[in-house]
Amino acid sequence: MAVEKQRAQIKKLDQAALDFRTENEELRSVNDRMTSCNRDLRRKCRAAQTQMHEMIDERAELTAKVSSTTYYKFKKKKYWVNMTVSPHLHSCMTVTGRSRSW
């Protein structure tokens, strides 16, 4: 009887070890997929950051071009108007000594 009991215990331990190995392999597989996904996401994030920086630089160049002072002459009032555009794209007009925010 003792031998049969020991065989049953060994069988249970073998099954537990097999279950542990199976779960371990599944977790390794999940870990590998997550590592690959993380690598791809980091690459995409770097590409998005690079694109964002390029767009910020382009916006700065365009803002510099637009914010350079240009002069317009009103047809009816014959005033010279100094028109500049702030970095936030709000225009501000100065009419010969008076200032107006539009």
Average pLDDT, the chain: 78
What does the pLDDT look like over 53-100, one tens digit per residue? 999 999 998 888 877 644 444 444 444 444 444 444 444 444 444 444
Residue spans per domain, the chain:
1-66, 69-102
Q: What is the mean pLDDT of residues 3-25?
A: 96
Cβ pair 102, 92 in contact under 8 A: yes
Question: Strands of 98-101's sheet, edge to edge?
Answer: 70-73, 80-85, 91-95, 98-101
Compute the C-alpha angle 54/58/61, nearest 5°. 140
